[in-house]
Every structure is written in structure tokens, then in C-alpha cells.
Amino acid sequence: MRIRLDCNGLRGRSGRDEVERALLPLGVVSPNESLPRAVAFALNHPSLAVEFLRRHRVVGLGRRHLLEYGNRELQQLPKELRDAFEWRHRLDVLLESGWGELAQAVMETGIRTAGIKGAAMRSLYAHATDRDAGDIDIMVENVDEAWRLASWLRRRGYDWCEYEWP
């Protein structure tokens, strides 16, 4: 099946559904024979691909699929895709640094933590960066330990969202 879409002509729900179906294999951990078509579609419609990958939080996975199955180097990709992948990489590096600092906090304070949400899902992927994350969510045993850990992190320049517990 060949899908041909005019990017400028996509309007309404049906156009978006077609794009979703065309790009879906880019966001699947175990892709099937549809992946080469999805790669071709993404390379021909990079802005739609970036929108899809960001919306479904799989920019990292899409990057890996496009580079591996598209037989391309990063610099050979369209600019929109390169920019999105470079942004994702910078964020992943920053988050990895955060994991290191969290490990140091746990070691120094003795507070036990457990990753939740995206942090808990990382181990389910072959590559931790396949699932996009924008923060590190953790649980601690009680509110006193939450405040102690938050204090340790704040002394090192971290802050928390106004609408979340420390």
C-alpha cells in the first residue's frame, strides 16, 4: 500500500488519522514490515513526523528507527528531524546527569527512592532513551524524607513545580 499525502492539504480528523497510520511503525518498539514505509513517509514529510513523534513521546525511538532502517547518518536527515533529534539528545544528556545527582543524593542521605512513571518504564526498553522523558519522577517512603531529599536537591540548584509536592 502506498500512501501519498499533500502536507499542506491535510485538514481535519481524517487527514490526521492517515498521518498517524503512516507513521505508527516509527513509534512501535517491535516494528514490522511497515517500518520502511513509515521511514519513507517521515523522510518525505519531516514536519509531520516530528509532530507525531513528539505527541506520542517517542522521538528517541523514532530517531533510532530512522537512522537504522533509513540507512542514514543524522546529518543526512531533513533539518526538522535533525533539530528534533538533537534537542532530544541534549535533554537525554541533561536527564542522565540528573540521574547521577539523584544517585549521589540517595547515597549521601540514605533515603530510599523508587522511580515512577517514565523512570519506572526505562528498564522495559532496549534503549532507555527510546521513551521520551522530560523529568525524573520518584517516590520516597514518607513526607519527611521527601522534604529532606528536596532540601538536598535545592541546595544544588534544583527546584520543583509549584503545583507538585516536593
Grid coordinates representing 94?
541533561
Looking at residues 122-144, what average pLDDT do you find? 87
DSSP-assigned states of every residue in 49-87:
HHHHHHHTT-HHHHHHHHHHHTT--GGGS-HHHHHHHHH
Mean pLDDT of 49-65: 92
What are the distances in angstroms from CA 135 to CA 22, 96, 99? 29, 10, 10
The predicted model gives 45-73 an average pLDDT of 90
Residue 161 CA to residue 166 CA, distance in Å, equals: 8
According to the model, what pLDDT value does residue 25 have? 82
Residue 131 has what pLDDT? 84
Percent of the chain with pLDDT over 70: 89
- Residue 127: what pLDDT? 86
Helical H runs in 12-45? 12-23, 35-44
Q: Are strands 113-115 and 138-140 parallel, antiparallel or unpaired?
A: antiparallel
Position with higher pLDDT, 102 vs 9: 102
Is the Cβ–Cβ distance between 121 and 150 less than 8 Å? no
Give the pLDDT confidence score for residue 129 in this predicted structure. 86
Burial category of 119 from C-beta neighbours within 10 Å (exposed 0-12, middle 13-18, buried 19 and up): buried
Domain residues of the chain, as ranges?
11-80
pTM of the model: 0.75
Q: Which of 45, 102, 94 is nearest to 20 (CA)?
A: 45
Q: Is 80 exposed, middle or buried (0-12, 13-18, 19+ CB in 10 A)?
A: middle
**2-55: pLDDT as tens digits:** 333 334 444 445 677 888 888 888 887 777 778 899 999 999 999 999 999 999
Q: Tell me the pLDDT of the chain averaged across its residues.
A: 84
